[in-house]
Structures are given as C-alpha cells and as structure tokens.
Amino acid sequence: MQQFRIAPSILSADFARLGEEVTRVIEAGADLIHFDVMDNHYVPNLTFGPMVCAALKPYSTVPVDVHLMVEPVDDLILSFAKAGADIITFHPEASRHVDRSLSLIKDSGCQAGLVLNPATPVYVLENVLDRLDMVLLMSVNPGFGGQSFIPQTLVKIRQVRDLLDMYECESGRKIALEVDGGIKTDNIAAVAAAGADTFVAGSAIFGQADYKAVIDKMRQELASAFS
C-alpha cells in the first residue's frame, strides 16, 4: 500500500511560538517538518537561518525537511546539516555544480533532493538520479506562502513519477516525490493520484484552529482516493 507523508511548512506558523507550533503539529500527525529557507536573493523574501533550525530541532521528533531557496547554496548546505536537517533540497538554478552540491548533502549525512520550479524542465533530474532521495516539485512560484496551486503541475507530477518509477525498476531504489504549494484538503487526492507521495501544506494547516482535524481530513481524502 502506498505510504503518504504530510509535511507542514512552518512558513505559515506563528513565528512568535515556533517551538510550540512544531510540537502541536507533530502531535496532530505531521510526518515531516518542512523548513522553507529564503534569502531575499534567489526569491523575494527572507525567512529562517541555520540558528532557527538548530533551535527548533529539539522540538521535532520527525525528520526536518529543509528546502533551500537560496543562492549560492553550498555554504548553507553545510550549515543546515550541522543545525540538524535530515533532508536538504535545493534548486538546480542556484548551484553552479549540481552534482557537487548533492555530494555535499550526502557527505553530511543528510538525504538529498532537487527542487523544480514550475518552469524548470524535468530533464535536469536525469543525470543525478543516483544522488537523489527526493524530488520536490513547486506547484507555485517560490517565495511566498498562501499561493494557489498551479493546475499544470499535475502533468509535471505524472512526468516525474514515470521517470522515478523507471529508475526504481532499474535500480531498486525509491525516490520520494514531494509537492509544495497550494496543497489543501480539496486537491491533495488529485495530487496523489498524479504520483506524489509527500505533501507540503502551510496555510491549509497553520491557518486553522485544529491542526489535527485538517491533517486527518487530508489522510481521509488520500485513503478514499486509493481505496
């Protein structure tokens, strides 16, 4: 049976109570904590640094999923690995040497992934699949939370799913497919049906009073779509 993971993005959490927010959302059923790192350079916003990740790590009993929207990436890869990241993903456009950046992540003991923006072609994955543990597809343009899901992403999810399934058949190694942007209870089943297995949700969870009710509803939607 397909295993799905829900990764609440603390970009939409209450910044004044981040430790408490991490605890609450994990108790509500989160599988990962998604950590959006923006530098006001690669994307037009500024969020968290490694010190915040290190401070929140003791609150997280699930893996910390760090998404680097920064340029350049290599120094921050090392900093976030030291700060306690379990998974580190970055955008290929932000690295001069993608293979080298992936090697830095793996050599630091973290899982590694690439992030594809809505207009980034799928073929950039083909020569580095052996280095990847995760592919993250952006279903919005990166930089801000609360955006609407781009429907064309469903086509891209299917394309990447086919590529990853082919690689798994050849290598025996599974690569996770994560989607980030506009994920809600009313579209999560369609995103899963296209081939995603990991779902980043920010305002859809942290914008509600009852985190558990939202996560439970997401799981119900996933279960009903695959029953």
- Give the separation between CA 209 and CA 156, rounded to whole angstroms: 33
Measured CA to CA in angstroms, residue 194 lies from 54, 178, 200 at distances of 35, 12, 15
Q: Which of 36, 39, 65, 133 is catalytic?
A: 36
Q: How far apart are CA 36 and CA 65, in angstroms?
A: 9
Q: What pLDDT, in 10s, does the model give residues 10-35?
A: 999 999 999 999 999 999 999 999 99
30-58 pLDDT, tens digit per residue, is 999 999 999 999 998 899 999 999 999 99
Per-residue tokens: 58:
């003791």
Instruction: Mark whether 75 is an active-site residue.
Output: no
**226: DSSP letter:** T
The closest alpha carbon to 182, from 144, 211, 213, belongs to 144
Please provide the DSSP assignment of 43-97 as one string: SS-B---HHHHHHHGGG-SS-EEEEEE-SS-HHHHHHHHHHT-SEEEE-GGG-S-
pTM: 0.96
Smallest CA-to-CA distance from 137 within 190, 196, 189, 65 is with 196
Contact 45, 143 (CB under 8 A): yes
Give the integer Cα–Cα distance in Å for 206 and 192.
Answer: 21
pLDDT surpasses 80 at 2: no
CB 211 within 8 A of CB 169: no
Q: How far apart are CA 174 and CA 188, in angstroms?
A: 21
The 3-state DSSP class for residue 139 equals coil
Taken in order 82, 144, 12, 159, is the CA torsion positive or negative? negative
Give the pair of three-digit tokens for residue 11. Answer: 């970009």
Tokens of 128: 């580095």
**Chain CA centroid to CA 149, Å:** 15
**pLDDT tens digits, 106-133:** 999 999 999 999 999 999 999 999 999 9
| Predicted pLDDT at 1 | 56
pLDDT of residue 5: 98
Is 216 annotated as catalytic? Answer: no
Residue 195 has pLDDT above 90, yes or no: yes
- The pLDDT, as a whole number, for residue 143 is 74
Nearest C-alpha neighbor of 156 from the set 102, 128, 196: 196
Of 65, 133, 180, 197, the catalytic one is 180
